[in-house]
Structure 1
Amino acid sequence: MDTTSRTEDELAGLDIAALLRYGVTAPRGPMRTSLFGDGAVGAAVLLGRLGTEPRSVAFLAETVRAGGLAHALTLPEPLPRPEAAGLVRDWLAAAASLAGGVRADDTAARWLRAVASVIELRQSVRR
């Protein structure tokens, strides 16, 4: 996917859950590239619009790395704001539905860290 031709609204309109379902356990290649490229930027746009701080997403990434996707799904509030928490809970559920084990947990944690980095970058450019 060519992100240079996509608007923020188009990236925000991507089916992030589907990208996670197909990309988290995919070998290196187009699906993984889409997840970490367009998917990470689209997720960052959505979460940024909801006022999510990058440190919150980074903390969630470390929680996923330490306890796995299944554990992260048990969190009553994976992110501080209810709208963001609901959104990310759907994404975690999509990734956890694969039962991909530690490898999927690690990939999901790396993806969440990438999302946090994009949010942080976008915030620093706007300041």
Structure 2
Amino acid sequence: MSTLRPGKSDSELLETTDVPTLLRYGLRGNGPHRTALFGDGAVTAAITLDRQGALPRSVSFLAKVVRSGGTRYAADLDEPLPGEAAQTIRAWLTGAAGVAPDVAGDDAVACWLEAVAAVMELRHEAGTAAASTW
């Protein structure tokens, strides 16, 4: 038997979800921290990046860069994402590189970025990119 939890608004997620902390603990292994990273963490990251003007396809492309070059390589790019989102994603990638220093870690970061891009795309398709409850 499962119980549904009430949804959280964009504002609630942004106020209560610390993406850098979720990356730090969620990339270290499976379990509740990984679930939170790929759940509320991915949605919060999608909201944040969307509000900063990033496009889902840019985040998806960045996932490919991480998968092929590594998290540290992507963090060191001059502009890992266009515009305002570059600073945010660079900080997230820099933190992630410290706890995901190998190929398996890079793959986990890439998978998370793909999840973020998918959430962004879903929000755009549903017309809820501006404000919603998840």
Q: TM-score, normalised by structure 2?
A: 0.87
Q: Flag structure 1 segments of 5+ consecutive residues without an equivalent.
A: none
Q: Is the 8 A contact 1:3 1:38 kept in 2?
A: no
Q: Deviations over 1:46-89 (max 9, x none)?
A: 111112110000000000000111111120000011x2000001
Q: Flag structure 2 segments of 5+ consecutive residues without an equivalent.
A: 129-134
Which residue number in structure 1 is paired with residue 67 of structure 2? 65
Describe how 1:1-127 pairs up with structure 2 within 5 A. 4-13=6-15, 14-26=17-29, 28-81=30-83, 83-126=84-127
Distance (Å, rounded) in 2 between the aligned partners of 1:39 and 1:18: 9
Distance (Å, rounded) in 2 between the aligned partners of 1:121 and 1:22: 26
Shift of 1:3: 6.7
Shift of 1:31: 0.5
Runs of 4+ in 1 over 3 A off after TM superposition: 2-5
Q: Is the 8 A contact 1:64 1:106 kept in 2?
A: yes
Distance (Å, rounded) in 2 between the aligned partners of 1:3 and 1:109: 28
Identical aligned residues as a percent: 51
Backbone CA RMSD of aligned residues: 1.6
Q: Is the 8 A contact 2:60 2:114 kept in 1?
A: yes
Classify the secondary structure of the residue corresponding to 2:99. coil
| Matching residue's letter, 2:71 | L
Q: TM-score, normalised by structure 1?
A: 0.91
Classify the secondary structure of the residue corresponding to 1:78. coil
Q: May I ask how many residue pairs the two structures share in their alignment?
A: 124
Shift of 1:100: 3.4
Classify the secondary structure of the residue corresponding to 2:81. coil
Distance (Å, rounded) in 2 between the aligned partners of 1:4 and 1:71: 39
